[in-house]
Amino acid sequence: MEKMNQAFEKMKMLVGMEVEDEEQAPEPEDSSSFSFMDDFNRSCTLSTKQRLYGFAICFVSGLACTLLSMLVFFNPVKFGITFTFGNLLSLGSTAFLIGPKRQVTMMLDPVRIYATALYLGSIIIALFCALYVHNKLLTLLAIVLEFGALVWYSLSYIPFARSMVSKIMLGCFDTEF
């Protein structure tokens, strides 16, 4: 049992959670923070084991939806819906690990605010094209935009990754004829 507790403590440190006692009451923050998110966080107290299960279930479901969307690739409307739903599930899975308030705070961090806006906007555009426009070409273009925005958003969590990818792309496409 002691090895299990040590493994959970290592997992907590790995995902950025505090290793202190879980039953400890949250420290009061200043009143200018998101009061809705504070209330939501207080009502969503999960143990580390429950957080890991929630993350795993949500992430595997999102990955399954994304992979299953490949089966309906030639029907862009169904593809757009399942691909986008898979992305939303995968994005929501990280809220189990770090909490919804910290997730939103990290998404709105000045370093990645534009990547977040582009990603969420591309999700809305893809769903709009799939559900209301019913144009296969626009839906496929929206999915390509969504995938690119997902990659760019994901790279914002890796130090220097976006600048490295930008330099590589400039090097690949900067040719003189």
More confident residue, 36 or 145: 145
Closest of 7, 112, 114 to residue 52, by C-alpha: 7
Q: Is pLDDT of 176 > 90?
A: no
More confident residue, 7 or 27: 7
Average pLDDT, the chain: 82
Token match 């760019």: residue?
152
What pLDDT sits at residue 40? 64
What pLDDT sits at residue 74? 83
What tens digit of pLDDT does each residue of 120-157 get? 999 999 899 888 888 888 988 998 999 999 889 888 88
Residue 6 to residue 154: CA distance in whole angstroms: 30
What tens digit of pLDDT does each residue of 87-121 get? 999 889 988 888 888 889 999 999 999 999 999 99
Phi, psi for residue 139 in degrees, rounded to 5: -65, -45
Which of 2-6, 58-62, 91-95, 149-153: highest mean pLDDT?
Answer: 58-62
What pLDDT sits at residue 43? 67
Task: Specify the pTM.
Answer: 0.68
Residue 95 to residue 104: CA distance in whole angstroms: 9
Q: Is pLDDT of 32 > 80?
A: no
What pLDDT sits at residue 44? 66
